[in-house]
Amino acid sequence: RLKDLEVAELGDSDVHVKMLAAPINPADINMIQGTYAILSPLPTVGGNEGVGEVLEVGQRVAALKPGDWVIPASTGLGTWRTRGVFPEETLLKVPSDIPVLSAATLSVNPCTAYRMLADFESLAPGDSVIQNAANSGVGQAVIQIAKASGIKTINVVRDRPDLPKLVERLMALGADHVITEEMLRKPEMKDIFKSIPKPRLALNCVGGKSTTEMLRHLQPKGTMVTYGGMAKQPVMVPVSAFIFRDVRLRGFWMTQWRKDHAQDQESLTSMMDALCQLIQRGQLTAPACTEVPLQDYKAALEATMKPFTSSKQVLLL
């Protein structure tokens, strides 16, 4: 429900923020449904991502000033609101000269894409990565970050009525190959590997059959990282992939990475700087977004849950 609440009083270490925009992500829906790994004590404000402008700061706040743009430093901030008072350590400053939609969608998907490309295999220019759900927010960020680093991407999407349009959009972002899940099983896949090496890294957001098929194209000793399970089916791996090709299966959750690196400000800062520089250079754009006024939140939630949505719903606050 949309409710009017009093804004909390500003403490010495607090920051009063006017929220500008906040997206609706699948994880936000899962939290509301009660199926996510983190559940906020009720009553609570939804939304884990977004950007706001600092209006006022407490006496002890040193790193932020009015006019600065901030995004959540961790999960559970509750961004679907017009204003809020938050402790300084729950916020990260971002440049205010980047597009508002890029800032609003920065803290979850691009960070997930960046870490998965950096932390599991040491990839060099010319190497390749294969991923499913390539039109998701993470998928679009993977394409662009990989392109900026000279890494080739093979992007798997579900067949759909407007497939040529989607292929065109992903190619425009810098995708090297866009294929359907059905094509993973076809002999034509060999043609792709005439021009680029087999991938050392696979990124899985789907599960089920799509994953098993994608795994077949991974190099021996390659790594598959699972960060989502949209098909709600387990990851099935042939025994031969383990024994004869020694593939590694790993998982990734951005929230856990932030917890593990809570004392390591440098790794967080260097990642955010790298991503903001890509945005400023025009090499990383926000995913396709539909901007929705806050009062139409119900329509935005419904749109997020529809299949084949290639546009992220963003609440304008």
**Active-site choice (36, 114, 227, 297):** 36
Distances (CA, A) of 13 to 10, 79, 296: 8, 19, 34
pTM of the predicted model as reported, rounded to 2 decimal places: 0.94
3-class secondary-structure state, position 215? helix
What's the pLDDT score for residue 75?
A: 87
* Cβ neighbours around 83 below 10 Å, total: 14
**For the segment 163-201, what is each residue's pLDDT rounded down to a tens digit?**
999 999 999 999 999 999 999 999 999 999 999 999 999
Annotated catalytic, 227? no
Domains in the chain, ordered, with CATH? 14-105+286-316 (3.90.180.10), 109-255 (3.40.50.720)
DSSP code for 306: S
Bond prior to 23 in cis (omega within 30° of 0): no
Q: pLDDT digit of tens for each residue in the chain (317 aa)?
A: 999 999 999 999 999 999 999 999 988 999 999 988 888 899 999 999 999 999 999 999 999 999 999 999 988 899 999 999 999 999 999 999 999 999 999 999 999 999 999 999 999 999 999 999 999 999 999 999 999 999 999 999 999 988 999 999 999 999 999 999 999 999 999 999 999 999 999 999 999 998 999 999 999 999 999 999 988 899 999 999 999 999 999 999 999 999 999 899 899 999 999 999 999 999 999 998 999 999 999 999 999 988 777 689 999 99
- H or E element in which residue 301 lies: helix 297-305
Q: Which string of DSSP letters, residue by residue, matches 226-290?
A: E---TT-------HHHHHTT--EEEE--HHHHHHHTTT-HHHHHHHHHHHHHHHHTTSS-PPPEE
- H or E element in which residue 127 lies: none
Largest CA distance in the chain: 66
> 137-148 and 163-173 are packed helices; what angle lies between their axes, rounded to 10 degrees?
40
| Helices first, then strands: H and E counts in the chain | 11, 13
Q: Which residue has the tokens 């005439």?
A: 194
